[in-house]
Every structure is written in C-alpha cells, then in structure tokens.
Chains A and B, each alone.
Chain A
Amino acid sequence: MSESESNAGAAAEAAARRSYGKLVALLAARTRDVAAAEDALSEAFAAALADWPAHGIPQRPEAWLVTVARRKAIDAARRQRQGDSAGDHLRLLAEEMEQAGAEAGDIPDHRLALMFACAHPAIDPGIRAPLILQTILGFDAAAIASAFLVAPAAMGQRLVRAKHKIRRAGIPLRVPGRGELAERLGAVLDAVYAAFAEGWSDPAGTDARRRNLAEEGIWLGRLLVSLLPEEPEALGLLALMLHAEARRNARRDAAGGYVPLDRQDPAAWDAALIDEAESLLHRAGAQGAIGRYQLEAAVQSAHAIRRRAGRADWTAIERLYDALFALTASPVVAINRAIARAETDDAEAGLAALDEVAAEPRIAEYQPYWAARAALLARAERIEAADEAYQRAIGLESDPALRRFLQERRAELGGARQAPV
C-alpha cells in the first residue's frame, strides 16, 4: 500500500469514526429511511477509498461524503422505486440537497433527533440500544449481537425490522418539544445505559467488543451532555457511568480474582474520572429536578467518599435507595437498600429488609439476592442458612471470577458446615 493510499484510508476511517452517526442522521432526516442512508453512506466510504488516494483528501471530508452519499441515495431510489412513489422520495432527497447547499460550513448535527427516533415509544424497548449503537456508531449486527448475547442473524433481523418501522410508521427524526422532552429522554438515556451496562458486565475486560461497548456508552453519554447541557438526568447518567468506569481496574486483583466494592483499594480508582463525575453531578443538582440517574450517581458518589473519609456514607446510601425505590419500585433497588440497612443498623435488620423482596417473582433466580443474603447470614452467624444461600448464589453465577469469590466465602464459613463443592 502506498503512503497516499494509507493516508486516504486513515482519513476515511477517521471520518467514519467521528461522523458516522452525524452523516446517517443527516441523510435520513427527511426520508426517515435509515437503512437506505446507511447503504448510501457505506457506498460513499467505498468511493472515498477509491478516490482519495488518487485525488487527495478533500478539504472537507464530511461534506464530500455527504454529497456522494446523496447521489448514491438518489440512484438507489430511482432503481428501487418506479413510478409515482419514487417521485415523493426523490423530491425529499432533492429538497435535502438544496437545503444542504444553502448551509455552507458545518454539517448540521441531527444525531439527537436520530436517537429519539431509535428510542421512540413505538420501537420495542429491547432493540433501542442496539439500534442506537448501529445508527449512531456504525456497529455491525454481528458485533452488537455478540455484546448482547444474541444470535447475529436474529439481531440483524430485529434491527432491519426496527428501521423498517421508523420509515413505514412515519416515526419522525425530531427532538421532542419541552413538554414531552423529559418523558421521552428517559428512553434515550435507558438505551445508552443499556449499551454501557452490557460492556460493564464483562469485568475482566477480556472481550474487546464488550469493553468497547462501555467506552461507547460513555461516548454517547458525553454526546448527550454536549447536546443537552441543561438536562440534569443526562448529566446524572454520564456521572453514573464515569463513577463505574473509574472502578473498572479495581474490580480484579493481580491474580484476576474478583474484588467486591467494599474490599477495593480506593487508591486503585481513577481519581480524574471520579472528579469529573462529581462535578457533573453537582451541575445536575443545580437544575433542581431529581431523577433515577442522578440518584444512582449519588449512590456511587457516597461510595467514592471512601477515598477521603475511609468509609462509605451508608446513611446517605440508604436514603438514596429509599428515594430510588419510591421512583422505580424495583426489587433490585430493594436488595441494595437492604445491604445499606445492614450497614446503618445490623445484619438482622438487613435480612428483614431482604425478606420483603423474597416473594418477588424471579428473585429466586437472581444471583445478587442470594449473594447479599448469604453475606448477611454469615455476618449474623447463621452458618447453615448462609451456606445454603451461598450455594444458590454460586449456582446462578456465570462469571468464573465471581463464582470463585463466592466459593471462597462459602468455604470461610467454617469447618463445621464445610460442604463438598
């Protein structure tokens, strides 16, 4: 490969990475045909790889790509749609081109509008995060499928169906107005957090695709904050993700063993990320509208206090989980609140709080419930019950490091109840 070829390739790749979502959003803004926009854009990238090495990298690579992609989109519309129905589509594309011609300078940024379309209430909640990853970041179906533990063909089909729905049902690429924004923003934030959480759930960081996903989640969070700098929940979500990210490396010891939050060395946390999270949370708080992500970020902040105070602020954590429970009625929140209560009161009080969620359906298959229960029973010196709870937790865990950790805790219960593993 010649130098100009590799330079052009690198420029095309950089443009793809930086502006993929911006270009898709722009190309689909009027037609709502996200799939056609993606196809046209990938043709434009291919054209760039052929053209740029010969003619040099254009001054404004994004504008070059948009112009070529629009031409490709018009060609495709002519090929595929015969007769009158092609007329409407071509008219929209032509209007778009005219409008773009009038906008000298920067490419307008419709990514937020595209995210709102992807997380529209008419789109199945389970496909919203994958759809955002694909349209904003350009992830292919196989990469998304592997991160979400779904068969690639099934994921590909669901993505196609969702894009089809955006076009056929007429879901607009538009940022909702003030009145609706708060309600609709929640779905966008949830989708971004779902992407982050998929990446975060691979603590060993061995799967590059998944680790990537946590980073992309933060990237999307930063994008949301830059586009909606006054939205407290967008700030809260980014603060939450940064707090979690700050502890990524502390979750494993040198031997690859699992280290729970309360045994992590605060010195191993990323101080810069925590500081950034704290200042975001501060900014969010100044807006005076509390929400789920701010509360969850505040919980992380109360843990991070251990950096200076030596101990997490468990009283604050319990209160924050109270507020979260009032908001979400989530059994997962109730479990975390029970753990906090064990710290502010004692293990028996924590166990009593756990009993309140025991009747929830699906709790019997939820590993963190059994792990929390086992730890509290052990602390209350109810060895036999603790042993049983550890066994349940171990049987439900899929992460080998965490499983090993639970097995070690179970073994520590004492020789009297040592059961074969």
Chain B
Amino acid sequence: MKYMLLIYGNEAAMQAARQAERPNTNQMMAAYGAYTEALKKAGILLGGDALDNSANATTVRVANGKSQVLNGPYAETKEQLAGYYIIDVPDLDAALGWAARCPGASQGVMEVRPLRVLRM
C-alpha cells in the first residue's frame, strides 16, 4: 500500500533553532539525509520533498467566478506541514514504523495517510 508521511512541525521553534545553532541544523539535515537513504535502500521510497516556510505560501480559491488570492497558508496554526514522503509498504504497521524513524517524529508530529487509488 502507498502512504504519505506528512511531517508537521513548529516553524517558529525550528527557525529559532536554526538561528541559534548552525551545527544543530546541519545535524538535522544529516539526519534527514540518512533517513531518506534508508528509505531508498529499503526500496520503498516513491518520492518526497521538504517545503519552504508557510510564510511563503499563498492560497487561491475561486468563488462566484472570481479568484481570491490570500497571503499565507490555508490554516494559520503553530504546527505547519514542513515536508512529506511517499512510501510503498505492506501495511499500516510498516508505515508507522517508518514514520517513527523520521527525524520529524521527534521534532513535531507525523501524520500517516494512505493514498487513495483513483482510476482515471
């Protein structure tokens, strides 16, 4: 089954950490690098990316034929989506096991969502 692992984190805290200590950030980057490598080696990685800060997000919606563009993310919450992986594993337990290993799990929270199989 295919799952998306959504990495949620506190942006303010992450930014503060980044500014306070460069080496820590490097450590975090290295941890993500190792994790991504592990997913590849296991042969289950389908894709993934890190997202830029939610301050750089823009939302668009079309209502009554007019598009409305707003500055900022969809929901102004402390925890924001910071990145994702898509993996292919046999079941939820395997997906949860991989989500727990992600550095994001000890920084914030991981959401594990099965992908919906759509036939078009």
Give chain A's interface residues, CB within 8 Å of chain B: 32, 83-85, 120, 122, 168-172, 174, 176
Contact = CB atoms under 8 A, between A and B. Distances in A.
Interface in B66-120: 90-93, 95-96, 114, 117, 119
A319 B13 CA distance: 45
Contact of B91 (A83, A84, A85, A170): A170
B91 A171 contact: yes
Contact of B119 (A85, A168, A170): A85
10 contacts: A122-B92, A122-B96, A169-B114, A170-B3, A170-B91, A170-B95, A171-B92, A172-B92, A174-B91, A176-B93
Nearest to A167: B114
A168 to B, nearest CB: 6
B87 to A, nearest CB: 12
Contacts of B3: 170
Contacts of B93: 171-172, 174, 176
A412 B6 CA distance: 64
Give 7 closest A-B pairs by Cβ, nearest first: A172-B91, A170-B1, A170-B92, A170-B91, A171-B92, A169-B92, A169-B114
Contacts of A174: 91, 93
Contacts of A120: 92
B90 to A, nearest CB: 7
Contacts of B1: 170
Nearest to A180: B93
A32 B114 CA distance: 14
Chain B contact residues, majority secondary structure: mixed
Interface residues of B, number: 11
Nearest to A122: B92
A176 B93 CA distance: 9
Contacts of A171: 91-93
A172 B92 CA distance: 7
Contacts of B117: 85
A172 B95 CA distance: 11
A168 B91 contact: no
B33 to A, nearest CB: 27
Contacts of B96: 122
A83 B119 contact: yes
Between A32, A122, A170, A176, the greatest number of chain B beta carbons within 10 A of the residue's beta carbon is seen for A170
A82 to B, nearest CB: 9
A169 B117 CA distance: 12
Contact of B114 (A85, A170, A176): A170
Contacts of A176: 93
A84 B119 CA distance: 8
A32 B92 CA distance: 11
Contacts of A169: 92, 114
Nearest to B97: A180
A79 B96 CA distance: 33
Nearest to B116: A168
A168 B117 CA distance: 10
Between B3, B91, B95, B119, the greatest number of chain A beta carbons within 10 A of the residue's beta carbon is seen for B91
Contacts of B92: 120, 122, 169-172
Given A83-B119, A84-B119, A85-B119, A168 B90 contact: no
Contacts of B91: 32, 170-172, 174
Between B1, B93, B117, B119, the greatest number of chain A beta carbons within 10 A of the residue's beta carbon is seen for B93
Nearest to B89: A170
A34 to B, nearest CB: 14
A337 B100 CA distance: 38
Nearest to B118: A85
Contacts of A170: 1, 3, 90-92, 95, 114
A171 B95 CA distance: 10
A32 B1 CA distance: 12
B90 A172 contact: yes
A171 B117 CA distance: 17
Given A170-B91, A171-B92, A174-B91, 10 more contacts: A84-B119, A85-B117, A85-B119, A122-B92, A122-B96, A169-B114, A170-B90, A172-B90, A172-B91, A172-B92
Nearest to B117: A85
Between B92, B95, B117, the greatest number of chain A beta carbons within 10 A of the residue's beta carbon is seen for B92
A85 B1 CA distance: 13
A232 to B, nearest CB: 24
A170 B117 CA distance: 13
A87 to B, nearest CB: 11
Contacts of A32: 91
A139 to B, nearest CB: 25
A198 B61 CA distance: 50
Nearest to A84: B119
Contacts of A85: 117, 119
Contacts of A172: 90-93
B1 to A, nearest CB: 4
A128 to B, nearest CB: 15
B95 to A, nearest CB: 7
Nearest to A172: B91
